[in-house]
Amino acid sequence: MKLFALAAAALSITVAGAAADPLEQRQANMKERGQIMRILGPIAQGRADFDAAAVNEALAKLETNAEAAADVDALWPQGSDTGDTKAASAIWDDFDAYKAENEKYAQAVAAAVAAAPQDLAAFQAAFGPVGGSCGSCHEKYRNE
């Protein structure tokens, strides 16, 4: 019984910790996406040389980053459209649609990783839906 209480207390601390600052958490997650895109974007646009190892490493990082944002309820709790955030209230108008948008992005990233592109054309084909997902989500769910 005592053990159970301890475990429950530990659990509630963990949960409270995770929910401590969802704004900071999701913005840090997004910033990391931006950093990874600064490697991939110029290669996709032909402004930097294609390097299969660098590309696949960056794609893997993008997948880990997307997995870290899979818990939409934790990162985008109801009411977190106030304060220092650009999250649009549209997110909570239809939360399921937002979850679907997040999932669509994660799948585009997973597909790009699975494609394991070895040349520029293959990379561009896999990368298109990833970049497109950033844009389509921001257009609908991020304030200017």
Site for ligand HEC in 119-138 (CB under 6 A): 130, 133-134, 137-138
Backbone angles phi, psi at 142, to 5 degrees: -120, 130
Closer CB to ligand HEC, 116 or 129, in the complex: 129
Residue 48 is a binding residue for ligand HEC (CB under 6 A): no
Among 55, 58, 102, 123, binds ligand HEC (CB under 6 A): 102
Q: What is the DSSP letter of 89?
A: T
Site for ligand HEC in 52-81 (CB under 6 A): none
Please give the Cα distance from 61 to 83 (Å, whole number).
Answer: 29
* Angle made by CA atoms 91, 95, 96, in degrees to the nearest 5: 135
Instruction: Indicate whether 107 belongs to the interface with ligand HEC (CB under 6 A).
Output: no
Q: Does 38 bind ligand HEC (CB under 6 A)?
A: no
CA-CA distance, 113 to 64, in Å (whole number)? 11
What amino acid occupies position 128?
A: G
Q: Which one among 19, 27, 52, 129 touches ligand HEC, defined by CB under 6 A?
A: 27
End-to-end CA distance of the chain: 52
Q: Taking the complex as a whole, how short is the minimal distance between the CB of residue 120 and ligand HEC, in angstroms? A: 19
In the structure encoding, which two tokens stand for residue 92, read together? 């909570």
DSSP state letter for 80: T
Contact call for residue 23 and ligand HEC (CB under 6 A): yes
Chain positions contacting ligand HEC, by CB under 6 A: 23, 26-27, 30-31, 33-34, 37, 85-87, 101-102, 105, 130, 133-134, 137-138, 141-142
